[in-house]
Structure 1
Amino acid sequence: MSPRPRDTDRATGTDTGNDTGTDAGSGADVETSAQPRQRIIEAAAGLLAREGRDAVTTRAVAVAAGVQPPAIYRMFGDKGGLLDAVAEYGFARFLATKHVDPDPPDLIEDLRGGWDLAVEFGLANPALFSLMYSEPTRPTSAAFRAGLDVLMGRIRRLAAGGWLRVDEALAAMLIHATARGAVLTWLSLPEDRRDPALLTTLRESMVAAVTTQEPAVQDTGPAGAARSLRAALPEQTVLSGAEQHLLREWLDRVAAEG
């Protein structure tokens, strides 16, 4: 099943699906927020969704949030600081959509589902998604790191089950890069050229690159077993930190030969 491109309003760029969650740009969000900082961030996110990044000026945000421009400078420093806060808000919204099953019945389908979720979020929030990934320093945000922890949990479960074809760090990069590339490529295409087969093909290419068709631990080769043992190391308490470090180095070498 391919990720579903969400319906968006052409005038505002915001998601028009039937989700029960509240849209970042809705007036209700701005009016009911109790905290001025959050009200400003939500107002900026609304302008971003409706009119694009150039519309997110200090004056426009102040009017939308019902505050004076100096309040924005006091809280965020400048427009760049405000955009950083909006990007962090986007990462937090995305994190809130992630429902983690600690013991999924099908690890490969769990991987597909996580990838689909990332792509669907990007397609439903194009301006916000572009802002979130436009600066190399933004992935250091707390919400981004929390989302990465969710992804690494999926990858470690794959490794522990012997399904991982590559090392965990490379798997994370492949998953992240293909999802981000899928969103940006889709958004760059004219609407009449947006074929859902593109998303399905990219996802399945990612799955094929990251995972094996059968659990590697069932094979006689040591690489899959090394990856499985390495993934399980954080759960054990027998070895000291130094011993874990040394064993992980050895396992990295064995896994690299696979």
Structure 2
Amino acid sequence: MIAAAADLIAASPGEEFSLRAVCDAVGVKMPTLYHFFGSKQGLIDAVIERGFDLYLGEKSSMESFGDPIQDIRAGWDAHVAFGLANPGFYTLMYGKVRPGHSPEAQSRPSEILRGLTARAAEQGRLAVPSEQAAAHILVTNIGVTLRQIILASHDPALSRAVREGAITAITGTGTQLDNPLAAAIELAASRPEVLGRSETQLLIEWLGRLSRCVETPS
């Protein structure tokens, strides 16, 4: 029934779906559906859970860059790609809003993001608290994804511009002109292919040490 509901939702993202159509698709009666899910919202919650399972399955297969800011960039792109490939799931996962309610499954990817911003904070690379940084990235990531779903048009330039604007906001590299070390760190993190991954991580570590010395001179 979850798969049938997901198929119906995917076929018409953003539109209401019929419980009768779900039952007909799997050959069961309405009482059976209510027995397992209790209500239409119960079925929707189960579909949302399935959507997050698929999303996190894709994210778990991603290779870490070993750098929290670069992993945030990669996570952003994966988030947008999943939404565009699965608009039916995505509009339920992030587009259906009920005041005061947040699907429990949403906490799982949010924890991953908070872990990355916490690591970035430990490295002294954030201009805002790590929780605020995670919220900033998440809400802008959702917004740019929903816009592309609404317009039914993939806009990688928009996504890239909003992504870099959000990262600039949380790292402060666009305003801290007196901290060229911080700017160099973020430049290296955003272009690991220039030096190579291992060399980039070593450079970031060295620049981070120098940056911390400048901030707290002995």
Q: Is the 8 Å Cα contact of residues 6 and 88 (structure 2) preserved in structure 1?
A: no
**CA separation in 2, counterparts of 1:102 and 1:124?**
20
| Aligned residue number for residue 91 of structure 2 | 130
| Aligned residue number for residue 139 of structure 1 | 102
Q: Is the 8 Å Cα contact of residues 43 and 65 (structure 1) preserved in structure 2?
A: yes
| Aligned residue number for residue 240 of structure 1 | none
| Aligned residue number for residue 169 of structure 1 | 131
Moved more, 64-73 or 173-182: 64-73
Deviation digits for residues 2-36 of structure 1 (CA, Å, limit 9, x no counterpart): xxxxxxxxxxxxxxxxxxxxxxxxxxxxxxxxxxx
Unaligned runs of 5+ in 2: 174-181, 183-207
Q: 1:205 aligns with which of 160, 165, 177?
A: 165
Q: Is the 8 Å Cα contact of residues 52 and 106 (structure 2) preserved in structure 1?
A: yes
Deviation digits for residues 61-82 of structure 1 (CA, Å, limit 9, x no counterpart): 0111222221111111221221
Letter in 2 for 1:94: Y
| Aligned residue number for residue 219 of structure 1 | 214
The question of 1:72 aligning with 2:67 is answered no
Deviation digits for residues 181-229 of structure 1 (CA, Å, limit 9, x no counterpart): 01111122364xx54211110110011011244146343269xxxxxxx
Letter in 2 for 1:219: V
Q: Is the 8 Å Cα contact of residues 5 and 22 (structure 2) preserved in structure 1?
A: yes
The question of 1:93 aligning with 2:54 is answered yes
Unaligned runs of 5+ in 1: 1-39, 223-258
Q: 1:160 aligns with which of 112, 122, 125?
A: 122
Moved more, 76-85 or 199-208: 76-85
Q: In 2 relative to 1, CA 101–188 (structure 1 residues): closer, same or farther, beyond 3 Å? A: closer
Number of aligned pairs?
180
Moved more, 107-116 or 171-180: 107-116
- Identity fraction in percent: 38
**CA separation in 1, counterparts of 2:21 and 2:55?**
25
**CA separation in 1, counterparts of 2:152 and 2:85?**
16
Relative to total residues, which structure has the larger helix share, 1 or 2?
2
Q: Give the C-alpha shift of residue 125 in structure 1.
A: 1.1
Q: In 2 relative to 1, CA 68–112 (structure 1 residues): closer, same or farther, beyond 3 Å? A: same
Deviation digits for residues 93-135 of structure 1 (CA, Å, limit 9, x no counterpart): 1111113889743332111001111111111111211111213
| Aligned residue number for residue 197 of structure 2 | none
Letter in 2 for 1:173: A
**CA separation in 2, counterparts of 1:105 and 1:55?**
42
Q: Is the 8 Å Cα contact of residues 126 and 187 (structure 1) preserved in structure 2?
A: yes
Q: In 2 relative to 1, CA 52–118 (structure 1 residues): closer, same or farther, beyond 3 Å? A: closer
Q: Give the C-alpha shift of residue 55 in structure 1.
A: 5.5
**TM-score normalised over the length of structure 2:** 0.73
**TM-score normalised over the length of structure 1:** 0.63
Q: In 2 relative to 1, CA 96–183 (structure 1 residues): closer, same or farther, beyond 3 Å? A: same
